[in-house]
Chains A and B, each alone.
Chain A
Amino acid sequence: MKITPEEVRHIARLARLELTADEVTRFQVELSQILDYVAQLEDIESDVSAEPPPPDQPLRQDVVKPCADPSTLHRQAPDFVDGLFRVPRVVE
């Protein structure tokens, strides 16, 4: 399975990863190799699709349990202004 440099760049865009030209070349080779390796699964019979495990979802009661101090979370932000998280503007 051969991945093209365009595919590498497309995937990197989806994943929001900036890649250098070297990285594109390297990932093209490495990802192709790994995909070749995992292609061995094609030969395994698996017509029965994997059923999810028996449902056993523990639920939480609808009770408010607020965070003790949200300001500790605000302080983690790289840019926090007037109670709001700020990011650079969206350029169309």
Chain B
Amino acid sequence: MKAAELDLVLDRYEPVIGLEVHAQLKTASKIFCGCATTYGAPPNTQVCPVCLGYPGVLPVLNAGAVELAVTAALALGCIVHETSLFARKHYFYPDLPKGYQISQFDRPLATGGSLAIVLDDDAEKSIGITRVHLEEDAGKSMHTESGTLVDFNRCGTPLIEIVSEPDLRSPREAYLYLRSLKQTLEYLEVSDCNMEEGSLRCDANVSLRPVGRSEFGTKTEVKNVNSFRYVEDALTFEIERQARLLEAGEQVVHETRLWDSGRGEARPMRSKEESHDYRYFPEPDLEPLAVDAMMSEGIRSRLPEMPRVRAARLVTEHGLPAYDADVLTATRALADYYEAVVELFNRPKEVSNWVMGEVLRLANERGQAVRLEPTPQPIAPADLAGLLENKQAGKISGSAAKEVLAIMVEEGGGDPLAIIKGRDLEQISDAATLETEIEAVIEAHPEEAEAYCGGKVGLLGFFVGQVMKRTKGQANPELVNQILRRKLG
């Protein structure tokens, strides 16, 4: 979008961008009550007196939410504080039942981390993480002609808010940061990070300063940047808007703007003078949250290997090309799957080809993700490894193996050899049988045989094809080649 204009702006001004990302934690139940967090349930069916803010109810913190939040904080290199406090953040809105959100304010769960992003020129940049804190989600409001309708199913879903330092210098960097953060959280299995379902949401703080100046300009907050597609659009819009103001000698007003992806613009939100007086104070219904060193270390020791480290290991230890390693480590589930197969069939590049090719294709066709848990998809690693064993042993040809894999996926596994037998897919590796077939082919094509002997060695492919045709593709291609060369000699 108007890249040319943005480039002109970037010649004169340096954007300073920080992102506030809210990620829903993947717990089974809500943060302060036992209601389910399942997405897409009929409205207001996952509610109870606690999450609806009934008179007399009290919050009780979900241990699972704490564990996931600490996991994310540690993976982002933060210091997880031994004591953190919950606080009430007050504002009136129909989807906020208690008139306050239970959040964390001056004593957050964790502070001072960083996240690496890889820029387009392959240079690495470290983006500071200011803080990670726990809070509850609000419900969902829908504005209609007849009034505002509220669904409280989402209300009370645990969230972590991850606040970055103002270290991002372009919309592209912001995009890369968000992508890296999403991959990290997904890898940790802390959040589904599904922007369409709202499990990952983003607000951005943006300001401009003349190139070379160190002090920050006046910032605006752009809310509702809730799709990867819009991150760059929304930030570009806002940067250009601010640049036009500054060029015209006007002031940027400190305000909150709401990104409207439909219109492709960020409009100022209604400014109510009191809108920012959240009247925070410590939540008296919850004791301070203790995360002692033992708990932190326990969680740290269970942290999964992060994608970039893992990709590097697949290159050095498995000898995979960098491209393969990147593709396989895109999600933790895919990488785990690949490694589970290699564990059983130790030819990494062969396994990589199959997982990146047929396995991903078959899973996509079935609308599945490749995974191990809770049930392996699209096929159990042992079944895939068994198939590759047989192929390696020359019992199944490459083309038949693809067919067999499709059948195994369809039937939920099975013995590859039995499938081959049942369907005439077994590779013919018996030399005597093949010689008979090859002799028949040579006899049927005397002119070609003569031409081959006369030096047209390119005709070998023709003969291989004819043999394959006669054997319905079951002939062992290596043996066929050998025998043909000898016979045509």
A binding-site residues for B, Cβ under 8 Å: 10, 13-14, 16, 52-67, 70, 73-74, 79, 81, 83-90, 92
Decide if B270 touches A64 in the complex (CB within 8 Å): no
**Given A59-B61, A84-B43, list of 17 further CB < 8 A pairs?**
A10-B273, A55-B287, A59-B60, A59-B62, A59-B66, A62-B65, A66-B34, A73-B52, A73-B54, A74-B44, A79-B147, A83-B42, A84-B150, A86-B146, A87-B94, A89-B145, A90-B148
Leading 3 A-B pairs by shortest Cβ distance:
A62-B64, A65-B34, A55-B290
Chain A binding surface, main DSSP class: loop
Q: Which parts of B44-94 form the interface with A (CB within 8 Å)?
A: 44-49, 52, 54, 60-66, 82-83, 85, 92, 94
CB distance from A50 to the nearest CB of B (A): 10
With a cutoff of 8 Å between Cβ atoms, the chain A residues found around residue B66 in the complex are 59
Partner of A83, one of B43, B83, B279: B43
A-B contact pairs, 30 of them (CB 8 A): A16-B92, A54-B288, A55-B82, A55-B83, A55-B287, A55-B288, A58-B287, A60-B29, A62-B65, A63-B28, A63-B34, A64-B28, A64-B35, A66-B34, A66-B36, A67-B35, A67-B47, A67-B49, A73-B49, A73-B52, A84-B150, A85-B94, A85-B149, A85-B150, A86-B146, A87-B148, A87-B150, A88-B148, A89-B145, A89-B148
Q: State in angstroms the CA–CA spacing of A53 and B46 once bound together.
A: 34
Q: State in angstroms the CA–CA spacing of A90 and B146 once bound together.
A: 10
CB distance from A17 to the nearest CB of B (A): 11
Q: State in angstroms the CA–CA spacing of A87 and B142 once bound together.
A: 10
Q: State in angstroms the CA–CA spacing of A60 and B47 once bound together.
A: 17
B122 at the interface (CB under 8 A from A): no
Q: State in angstroms the CA–CA spacing of A85 and B147 once bound together.
A: 10
Decide if A70 touches B48 in the complex (CB within 8 Å): yes
| Nearest chain B residue, comparing its CB with the CB of A59 | B63
| Nearest chain B residue, comparing its CB with the CB of A74 | B44
CB distance from A57 to the nearest CB of B (A): 4
Partner of A57, one of B27, B45, B61: B61
- Known contacts A56-B287, A62-B65, A83-B43, A73 near B27 by CB under 8 Å: no
Number of CB contacts from chain A to chain B under 8 A: 123
B289 at the interface (CB under 8 A from A): yes
Q: State in angstroms the CA–CA spacing of A79 and B146 once bound together.
A: 12
Q: State in angstroms the CA–CA spacing of A56 and B288 once bound together.
A: 7
B binding-site residues for A, Cβ under 8 Å: 27-29, 33-36, 42-49, 52, 54, 60-66, 82-83, 85, 92, 94, 142-152, 270, 273-274, 277, 279, 282, 286-290
Q: State in angstroms the CA–CA spacing of A70 and B36 once bound together.
A: 13
Q: State in angstroms the CA–CA spacing of A63 and B65 once bound together.
A: 11
With a cutoff of 8 Å between Cβ atoms, the chain A residues found around residue B290 in the complex are 55-57
With a cutoff of 8 Å between Cβ atoms, the chain A residues found around residue B47 in the complex are 67, 70, 73
With a cutoff of 8 Å between Cβ atoms, the chain B residues found around residue A57 in the complex are 61, 286-290
Chain B binding surface, main DSSP class: loop
With a cutoff of 8 Å between Cβ atoms, the chain A residues found around residue B273 in the complex are 10
Decide if B289 touches A85 in the complex (CB within 8 Å): no
| Nearest chain B residue, comparing its CB with the CB of A67 | B48
Decide if B45 touches A70 in the complex (CB within 8 Å): yes
- Known contacts A10-B274, A83-B42, A55 near B148 by CB under 8 Å: no
Decide if A52 touches B62 in the complex (CB within 8 Å): no
With a cutoff of 8 Å between Cβ atoms, the chain A residues found around residue B148 in the complex are 86-90
- Known contacts A14-B277, A57-B61, A73-B47, A52 near B282 by CB under 8 Å: yes
CB distance from B483 to the nearest CB of A (A): 64
- Known contacts A14-B274, A55-B83, A64-B29, A73 near B146 by CB under 8 Å: no
With a cutoff of 8 Å between Cβ atoms, the chain B residues found around residue A55 in the complex are 82-83, 287-290
CB distance from A38 to the nearest CB of B (A): 16
Q: State in angstroms the CA–CA spacing of A16 and B65 once bound together.
A: 33
Q: In the complex, which of the residues B33, B34, B66, B279 has the most CB atoms of chain A within 10 Å of its own CB atom?
A: B34
Decide if A84 touches B287 in the complex (CB within 8 Å): no
Partner of A89, one of B46, B61, B147: B147
| Nearest chain B residue, comparing its CB with the CB of A90 | B148
Decide if B143 touches A90 in the complex (CB within 8 Å): yes
With a cutoff of 8 Å between Cβ atoms, the chain A residues found around residue B52 in the complex are 73
Q: State in angstroms the CA–CA spacing of A65 and B270 once bound together.
A: 39
- Known contacts A16-B92, A60-B61, A64-B36, A86 near B48 by CB under 8 Å: no
With a cutoff of 8 Å between Cβ atoms, the chain B residues found around residue A52 in the complex are 83, 85, 282, 288
- Known contacts A57-B288, A83-B42, A84-B43, A73 near B48 by CB under 8 Å: yes
CB distance from A28 to the nearest CB of B (A): 19
| Nearest chain A residue, comparing its CB with the CB of B158 | A62
Decide if B94 touches A66 in the complex (CB within 8 Å): no
